[in-house]
A = this chain, B = another copy of it.
């Protein structure tokens, strides 16, 4: 029998961040491709559709351990499985979210995260009107109970969707409670010890850039 998957690189090898950032893009494209019934895909075709350099695609995908076959390229199913494995989508990472406002609520309801290996298991707020209610089946607890709940459930990811003024103190609680990675949507930079993983997603900043540039375009006229 032919060997379908050749793995050449160790998974423990650190992967450059730009490569990691592109991996979900490859995966979503591969999923669509699978639906259409394609069995093989070549790096140049992937590169063309995702607007990337073909050499970059080959290099990126090599981190999953796959190598392409001459003339046909990659086996779609194999590459898909290796990408899901690389991205940890086959494991569930449980997260606590603090700040059950509009953005927090939208993230809780966003079922796409489940497919991507992230499960928000509980939300926290300080607003008495929100505490005790739930969003899409996720209970909202009093922030005071964060430590207590975090000590009982092993949680690796904390998501911050609080106002700016609360973000740092919430991050501090998360760090004390043993959370290893913080995904910060609050519009502020937060400080964490070096061993904590921090990732900022500042949606308003992106919007501000768009609107500012639009204003410049209009002024040019």
A→B interface (CB under 8 Å): 11-12, 14-15, 17, 20-25, 28-29, 32, 49-52, 86-88, 93, 101-103, 105-107, 109-113, 116-118, 156-157, 163-165, 168, 180-181, 183, 187-191, 195, 197, 199-217, 219
Contact = CB atoms under 8 A, between A and B. Distances in A.
Contacts of A203: 201
Nearest to A33: B165
A216 B14 CA distance: 8
- The A interface, classified by DSSP as helix, strand, loop or mixed, is helix
Given A51-B168, A106-B109, 17 more contacts: A12-B216, A24-B205, A24-B207, A25-B187, A25-B188, A25-B204, A50-B164, A87-B212, A88-B211, A88-B215, A93-B211, A105-B109, A106-B110, A117-B207, A118-B207, A181-B210, A181-B214
